[in-house]
Structure 1
Amino acid sequence: MTKPTRTAAARSTVARTTPTRTVTAAVTAAAALAVTALSALPAGAAESAKPGRDGLAWAACPGAPADSPQRCAEVTVPLDYADPDGARVTLAVSRISAADPGRRRGVLLAVPGGPGGSSLDLVHGMAGRLPQSVRDRYDVVGFDPRGVGRSTPVSCGLDPADLSMVKLRPWPAADGSIDGNLATARRIADTCARNGGPVLRGISTANEARDLDGIRRALGERRLSLWGVSYGTYAGAVYTTMFPERTDRVVLDSNDDPDPSRVGRGWLDAYGRGVEDRFPDFARWASAPDNPDRVADTPEEVRPLFLDLAARLDRAPLPWPGANPAELNGNVLRQTLLDSMNADARFPDVAGLMLAGLGRRPLPAPVVPPEAAVQNTIAVSVGTLCNDVRWPADPAGYAKAVTADRAARPLTAGLPVNVMPCAFWPFAPAEPPVRVTDRGPSNVLLTQNLRDPATPYTGALKLRAAFGDRARMVTVDSGGHDVYRANGNACGDEVVTDYLVTGHRPARDVLCPAG
């Protein structure tokens, strides 16, 4: 398919504006971006900074303590790589230099999840999880992808009523109807197409991979090591496919299914299996005798209790002033379950709402992230998902799939196969999705939890198969999203750290026991 014709605005330099912030990102990710934006390089700061050996103007990150090891700079890349001399966009980057310069190996680039996430705040984010042996050897570099935060940002300017996660994620109505989802998807697609401009149309995973290589060139590095998490595993896999000889040591953590015929549609579908895989962990926790948030006496009672309560809240929501929407209904409970499955530490979120719905405690104070941050995240997510691949547009097909899925996987109630704005996206993908292959150096290490709700083990196996002998995989018998230095599993952490530090990678795939 041919690219849409560039407008005059696209041919001019894209102006920086104040970030205004996924359909796939949790509300907490939006709030996190609002925080990380504070530590990025502000417009104009680069002019007063002194260029480093790489030619970038590194400066102190505003808002950071005086002794912070993190420095910030900006990299510019083409808005449209088919027109490298045309308009450009800015990427905000950050760096923590190797703690032991004598043993420095190179750059470890942190590739964030989302789409729409950020790795700019390294101190409190990904770099803060790394062991000293890794920080000794690498300059750890983070960034805001194009469209995100302190990079040239994008916003769809959606109505605040459409910023609720139960609108952004296509939860069907209580009776299974998708009429409301179709209207929301069409409205978001139309609004984003009208307001997003050339930056939104230039967002895609292939362009993120090109941007990663632009960061590599700006840093003056011959090769990059990567640590990609969640969506960052797909972006990282695409980079290793498009630029295989420019990669050093690649770690992909919590892995997306790379199926090029589905891409983001497959990731949404994965929630159905992922939540089913993960729910037994929650059920055991929620019925433990010493748990102050206990909801049932046995694990077997938790699932029917949850399903019955969600159905009751469908029929009779509880008022929840200050929340969006301003009620606890069945889909709000289901959405909270979806988000809470990512980490054991978040189990109390869904248990607390269950106890409130059962009348055992009051509703908690609602947490509403900054609107500008949510607008930005939604725009980047929609742009990525819709620009990567065409989605089916037949409403009847979605309705049929939702009916079947609600019966087969009631915890997610038809969400994973429902309609998204991409069904009505007016722009054709500029290029086909990248097919991940086994062509290139054997330098990829995948790490994966067995019971990941967002990027299930089955999808990781597909990425492992696509890479062939380029990859090895270390699987951890654990639940939750994120593995390396996030799970407390010494076996899995040791394999990844050893690879980053020494280059030693297991000769075959590894299964790490729980604990």
Structure 2
Amino acid sequence: MKPITRTVALASASAALLALAAPLNASGAPGPSRAVAAPPLSWGACEGSGLDPRQRCATVEVPLDHAHPDGRTVGIAVSRIPAEKPAARRGALLLIPGGPGGSSLNDPSGKGRKLPQEVRDAYDLIGFAPRGNAPSTPVGCGLDRADLALSKLRPWPAPDGSVDENMAVARRVSAACARNGGELVKHISTAVNARDIDRVRAALGERRISAWGVSYGTYVGAVYAQLFPHRTDRIVLDSNDNPDPVRVQRAWLAAYENGVEDVFPHFAAWASAPGNPDRIAGTAAEVRPLFLDLAARLDREPIPWPGANPEELNGNVLRQTMLDSLYRPSGYPTLAKLIRAARKGTVPPAPQTPPEAALQNVTAVSVATVCNDAAWPASAAAYERDVARSRVTHPLTAGMPRNALVCAAWPYPPKEAPVRITDRGPSDVLLVQNERDVATPLSGARKLRAALGRRAVMVTVDSTGHGAYLAHGNACGDRTVSRFLATGERPAADVRCR
């Protein structure tokens, strides 16, 4: 999942006038981005290996609390690879990461290399580590190792549907974040991320900024475009979150119900294909009951799994592995191998996990974003009812998408209401969406498309996986997005790429 935040302390009257007075081209779309006077950033070498030698890094200081712009600041690490053809330069293309908890700091050297030449010619590629993410000013909650397990942080209920342990985890993790997270943990949200982006834009000297946001980054991009509509140039939102203005991340968590149902048949066809060395069934129809029966067996009789977290393969660990593996077809063998081993009463080697320090940091950012974005019910009864219904209608996800995340015990009320995404603003947004996406299903993307109205056009791609643009070799979808970034040309209406 990826969850997140918002509001705008109305910049300044002069800045607003500058934005409103920005020139339009003949088609009514925003004209090219122009540099404006701003203190120069101090660009230096980036940390890390395997980076493009042209990538340089700097730090932008932003207010800890945007409501108090002259108070304490935190650093936002940014990176840049300059446009490759200065004469063709249009402006800056911000790569907005997923998450929450993701970073795009090294993306100019990573997925930025996949962009076609005409896009790399036209834009400085900009990455950043959102607030709280190291090497920006970092945040951490100091969680116990057991509470860093994804099968624990994702709220899988007990085998009997009980949510008691989930509520206990919520209380324990929330208390640790309150104890160890400092002031920063209270000031991480999607709306705050959007305001930070506008500070980055100004520090880069750009009147407008283009963006490619993926997954949770689509929500950040949509919130930025809502709060700063006249600071946007060309916005690509890829693998789109439901922008529900009330439930926010609760709606995204619930989206796994649909996402798993959309993708599991694709996995089942692969897992039953003749000649597949990881084949687990003779027909696609056999895969679903086989998986459900195995998960139920592991609920009753977990298998020890030394080195894993937790150190047993239980039903919920299998379900979480299923969820992780459905993010992209290249993950299918991981799930199939685990199923094959578990049916024999064995386990494969324990999966590798990121270094604990990195996991602590990413988890703290994710938890803070989700919980500060909107209030969650505090009563276990509300979750118990929803979980019971979900377990009946969507047995593959066993009630998890309707259960209590950490936010059920979060000690800090949201500082502002979620930003409502509307159709007010320039028509400069292109959505690109796979038909089968476990984390951000097509049904949720259609909600964002409807909310943006005339501001957006959506390209639906007949592909499976999380991440659409330049991810699955769909020439039609890739060509449409690249043309928009390079020339501003969008389809006149929503299209489907087979």
Q: Distance in 1 between matches of 2:248 and 2:385?
A: 21
Query: 1:23–1:102: structure 2 CA closer, same or farther, 3 Å change rule?
Result: closer
Asked if the contact 1:99–1:137 (Cα under 8 Å) also holds between the matched residues in 2, the reply is yes
Contact 1:61 1:72 (8 Å CA) reproduced: yes
Q: How far apart in 2 are the matches of 1:54 and 1:461? A: 41
Other structure's SS at 2:444 match? helix
3-state SS of paired residue (1:262): coil
Is residue 472 of structure 1 aligned with residue 457 of structure 2? yes
User: Residue in 2 aligned with 1:127?
Assistant: 112
1:330 aligns with 2:330: no
Do 2:38 and 2:203's aligned partners in 1 also have CA atoms closer than 8 Å? no
User: Contact between 2:483 and 2:489, CA under 8 Å: does it hold in 1?
Assistant: yes
- Displacement of 1:62 in angstroms is 2.9
| Distance of 1:238 and 1:365 partners within structure 2 | 39
**Equivalent residues of 1:390, 1:428 under 8 A apart:** yes
Counterpart position of 1:290? 275
Aligned: 1:62 with 2:62: no
Partners of 2:116 and 2:331 in 1: CA distance: 24
Q: After TM superposition, where is structure 1 displaced by more than 6 Å over at least 4 residues in a row?
A: 22-25
User: Which residue identity does 1:203 align to in structure 2?
Assistant: I
CA distance in 2, matches of 1:24, 1:160: 22
Equivalents in 1 of 2:50, 2:333: separation in Å? 33
Distance 1:383 1:395, change over 3 A: same
Aligned amino acid, residue 460 of structure 1? A
Which of the numbers 270, 279, 300 marks the counterpart of 2:285? Answer: 300
Q: Which residue of 2 aligns with 1:252?
A: 237
- Which residue, 69, 76, 87 being the options, matches 1:102? 87
- C-alpha displacement at 1:281, in angstroms? 0.5
The 1:371–1:66 alpha-carbon spacing in structure 2 relative to 1, beyond 3 Å, is closer
2:480 to 495, 498, 508: 495
Query: Alignment partner for residue 265 of structure 1, among 234, 250, 253?
Result: 250
State whether residues 98 and 136 of structure 1, in contact with CA within 8 Å, keep that contact through their aligned partners in structure 2: yes
Measured in 2, the distance between the counterparts of 1:441 and 1:366 equals: 46
2:490 maps to 505
Q: Check 1:478–1:159 CA distance in 2 against 1; reply closer, same or farther (3 A cut).
A: same
1:6-54 per-position Cα deviation (integer Å, ceiling 9, x unaligned): xxxxxxxxxxxxxxxx8869xxxxxxxxxxxxxxxxxxxxxxxxxx996
Partner of 2:76: 91
Partner SS, residue 480 of structure 2: helix
Residue of structure 2 equivalent to 1:45: none
Distance in 2 (alpha carbons) for counterparts of 1:343 and 1:66: 25
Percent identical across equivalent pairs?
A: 62
> Which residue, 420, 432, 435 being the options, matches 2:420?
435
Cα distance in 2 for residues equivalent to 1:406 and 1:343: 24
Q: TM-score, normalised by structure 1?
A: 0.88
Match of 2:367 among 364, 369, 382: 382
The 3-state SS of whatever aligns with 1:481 is coil
Q: Which amino acid aligns with 2:121?
A: D
Matched, 1:363 2:348: yes
Instruction: Output the CA distance in 2 between the equivalents of 1:161 and 1:216.
Output: 39
**What's the offset of the Cα at 1:493?**
0.4
Gaps of 5+ in 2: 5-36
Render the CA deviation track for 1:170-194: whole Å, top value 9, x for unaligned: 1011111111111111111111122
Secondary structure of 2:183's counterpart equals: helix
Match of 2:331 among 322, 346, 353: 346
The alignment of Structure 1 onto Structure 2 pairs a total of residues equal to 466
CA contact 1:119–1:126 (8 Å) conserved in 2: no
- Pairwise CA distance, 1:318: 1.1
1:405 and 1:129 map into 2 onto residues whose CA distance is 40
